[in-house]
Amino acid sequence: MRPAPTSSTTDTPPPLDRRSLRPDCTNCFALCCTALGFSRSADFAVDKPAGTPCRNLASDFSCTIHEALRPRGFRGCTVFDCFGAGQRVSRGLFGGISWAADPESGMDMFAAFKTARQLHEMLWYLEEAQGRTFDPEARHRAGRLGATIEAAMGGGVQQLLGLDVEEVHASVRAVLIEISEEVRMSYSAAGREHLDAALVPGADLIGGNLRSRRLCGADLRGAYLIGADLRFSDLSGVDLLGADLRDARLDGADLSRALYLTQSQLDAAGGSRATRLPADLKMPAHWGDS
């Protein structure tokens, strides 16, 4: 008799459909406009305490200045992405009853949204990790973590609020880093001599000139790329997890195979129709045709 296997990849959950991880404001009670707070800055024209409605919020939960957010000083709103947590909390966890209709639910709803947003962002990265790795065991670990998060999301409000998010995040981070190393090495199998020493996680590359560079396989996780010139550069296999791309210039750059890129990072940057993007991300409306 053969011994039972100690681990198996046959029960790895299939990757999530990323459509469920995209915001659907029509099915959300404007949780990003109420639960979260912000301070007056270049991204927000006013101060707003957490847990209070934005002054631009209409009674039907729409934004009264949605078409003019940038010129009115609310650029931060245009780059925020809840990864679909808003509609899931509003319609799923709270059954379609808003904080306005049931004020006593407000604090729990706002807290659930903050937690769910973090978990949905992790699901976004785990879905990509599953699709990018060649290692069945790594794919299995990513899939099981996704299933754990899904179970927490489906267990009710109190189970969600009692979740140790830091512990989940640590486990997710370990898997994402492992798969990142694998993916990046596949773009530089003979070594990374083409990359300079400044291209490291958390690097300060603010305003840096990285134009027309072959950056394949670089680890720019958490790097500060604010205002950096990345025009016409190849970012295939570049780990951009948490990288700050505000006002980065991406015209003509190839990000089609970049790793852990999000829509909010693109929305914060500048680019053009010549910029190559992953198939499941879209060109921001404010990008030009240059």
Q: What's the pLDDT at 36?
A: 96
Residue 194: its pLDDT value, please? 59
Q: Which residues on neighbouring strands pair with residue 209, listed in sequence order?
A: 229
How far CA 180 is from CA of 32, 121, 176, 185, 232, in Å, comes to 30, 17, 6, 8, 23
Which of 10-19, 35-44, 159-168, 228-237 is predicted with the least confidence, judged by mean pLDDT? Answer: 10-19
∠ CA 28-44-67 to the nearest 5 degrees?
55
Backbone angle region of 83, left / alpha / beta, with phi > 0 → left and psi within -120 to 50 → alpha? left
Q: Which pLDDT band holds residue 288 (cuts at 50, 70, 90)?
A: confident
Token code pair at residue 219: 């680890």
What gap in Å lies between CA 267 and CA 88, rounded to an integer? 23
Q: What is this structure's pTM?
A: 0.91
Interhelix angle 165-186/136-153, rounded to 10 degrees, is 150
More confident residue, 188 or 213: 213
Question: What average pLDDT does the segment 182-196 reach?
Answer: 72
- Could you state, in order of their start, the residue ranges of all structural domains in the chain? 18-184, 192-290
Q: How far apart are CA 81 and CA 200, in angstroms?
A: 26
Element (H, E) at 137: helix 136-153
Whether pLDDT at 1 is above 90: no
Distance in angstroms (rounded) separating the CA atoms of residues 224 and 286: 22
Pick the CATH number of 192-290 from 2.160.20.80, 3.40.50.2300, 1.20.1250.20, 3.90.1150.10: 2.160.20.80
Average pLDDT rounded to a whole number, residues 246-274: 97
141 pLDDT higher than 90: yes
